[in-house]
Amino acid sequence: MYPICVMVNGLPGNMAATVAGHVDNDSRFDLIPFSLTGADIPFSEYKLGNVLIKLIHPDNRDAAIEDIVKKYPGIILVDYTHPSAVNANAVFYARHNMPFVMGTTGGDRKSLEGTVASSATAAVIAPNMAKQIVGLQAMLEYGAANFPDLYKGYSLKVRESHQNGKADTSGTAKAIISYFNRMGIPFTEKDIRKERNPDVQQKAWGIPEAHIGGHGWHTYTLTSEDQTVTFEFTHNVNGRDVYALGTLEAVVYLHEKISQGVQSKVYSMIDVLQGI
């Protein structure tokens, strides 16, 4: 079964670099020394430890990927690129019948799943790859399915903070508010308080200076109509390792499914947790 050939796309981005580093140090995987990158990246190579990774720009990726697939059969892609590239990347992966783990948030998620469903490949797609946070989401999803209108009449406040380079609203926050919607609270994405200012993050939020450049702090506060009852759910992550480790579990899970001949199937991180 091992090692699994893994190509991490999105270098030199921080999340892609973190995942690639874990892949390179894990005996279950072989890190493929190539990475799809954006047209705006001005260089063609990235040094990761002792590994020199060739960066492939959009204008030559079709030709390059054919050679890579031949050289590394059974390859699985990991995508930590940019929200604006999500859908185009998925179409590219599907066209070449390449299974992938999509950790990048944003894009048209329904279209993303439809691309996989109409293809001959499979994927794990999730707005959050941290297993423990996904477990919390699973609990809330259970509540939404089994206790509709549980919090009817309550108000909701959501605040999330990520590093300044995160281009979009947290996909995890959007998923979690959907559960509270089903439990009776009207709330929309535009109501999320999104913080990206490093000075505010450190002074007002208390986020450690060492992690201003890489963190994910979320708090969901529910208050009863008469203000006498408050519930609060918080998950604060400093650094990126917890997401990277979950991504590796998703790669192993997807590799097993592909080995079983699965096609045209989208899996979530909840599927991964249940299959571990």
Q: What is the pTM of this model?
A: 0.89
- Greatest Cα-to-Cα distance within the chain, rounded to the nearest angstrom: 65
Beta strands across the sheet bearing 45-48: 34-36, 51-56, 45-48
Q: Where are the domains of the chain?
A: 4-125+241-275, 131-238
| CATH 2.60.40.1890 is the classification of domain 131-238 | no
Active site residues: 162, 166
Print pLDDT tens along the chain (276 aa).
789 999 999 999 999 999 999 999 999 999 999 999 999 999 999 999 999 999 999 999 999 999 999 999 999 999 999 999 999 999 999 999 999 999 998 899 999 999 999 999 999 999 899 999 999 999 999 999 999 999 999 999 999 999 998 888 898 999 999 999 999 999 999 999 999 999 999 999 999 999 999 999 999 999 999 999 999 999 999 999 999 999 999 999 999 999 999 999 999 999 999 987
CA dihedral in degrees (15, 18, 21, 27; nearest 10)?
Answer: -90
CATH superfamily entry for domain 4-125+241-275: NAD(P)-binding Rossmann-like Domain (3.40.50.720)
Do the Cβ atoms of 170 and 160 come closer than 8 Å? Answer: yes
b vs e for 177-197, b when ≥16 Cβ sit within 10 Å of the residue's Cβ?
bbbbebbbbebeeeebebbee
How far, in Å, CA of 242 to CA of 82, rounded? 20
E strands, 163-214, are 193-195
